[in-house]
Amino acid sequence: MAIKQEIIDIGKFKFGKDGLIPVVVQDYESGEVLMLVYMNAEAAEKTFATGYAHYYSRSKKTVTKYGETLGNTQKVCAAFLDHDSDTLLLKVKQRAKADMENNTYTCFPQQIKGAYNDIGGEMFGRLQRIIADVKANPEDGAYTSFLFARGVDRIGKKVGEEAVELVIAAKNAEKVGVVNEAADLLYHVMVLLNAKEVKISEVCAELCKRNR
């Protein structure tokens, strides 16, 4: 993803008495919160000058490019300030897992309230990673692996079949049928996108252009 570098006025940021501003970091596609970190003025300037996230380590008292050693760098896609300009939100494209040591994509892997399915739209980002992993590591007997082995024609046929089944389900009064068939359709669409090397973010970008 190409990043259009822009001049960011760091003077708008309201750093705390310790010279730091908290930064919430989200996956640009799924919206998953990856981490909560801090920047000082130097880290902020380097972040927007290079397009890659730099953070301030409160323990080491240093500014570093995130993931430079392990390779899980974060390319900044978008940035937002809150109303008081004292908290920064970054939407990033992360190359690998946030917590490499514990093998997790986010630094918040422990869900202590709610269920796995209480996550809303970010499921598309997770599903995209799951499908990509299955494609890279085929499993005997796995349905997704079966689809990839059969190719785009087979996957496309399933998309068409599921679309028809969704329309039929919509004619019935029960909501559950629509939910189930919509899930089937979206899953197969996600597999098809992966087969064509299309990211869900590309589809979202196209939708945004159409709604301006």
- DSSP letters, 61-83, are TEEEETTTTTS--EEEEEEEE-T
Which residue is it, tokens 């993931």?
67
Per-residue DSSP letter, 10 = G
> What confidence tens digit (pLDDT) does each residue in 58-76 have?
999 999 999 988 888 999 9
Q: How far apart are CA 93 and CA 73, in angstroms?
A: 8
Q: How far apart are CA 129 and CA 177, in angstroms?
A: 26
Model pLDDT, residue 72: 86
> What confidence tens digit (pLDDT) does each residue in 138-196 have?
999 999 999 999 999 999 999 999 999 999 999 999 999 999 999 999 999 999 999 99
The closest alpha carbon to 41, from 9, 7, 73, belongs to 9
Q: What percent of the chain has pLDDT over 90?
A: 66
> What confidence tens digit (pLDDT) does each residue in 87-144 have?
999 999 988 766 666 678 888 888 888 776 667 778 888 899 899 999 999 999 999 9
Instruction: Please tell me the pTM assigned to this model.
Output: 0.72
pLDDT-based confidence at residue 6 (cuts at 50, 70, 90): low
**All domains of the chain in start order, with CATH:** 10-94 (3.10.20.810), 120-210 (1.10.287.1080)
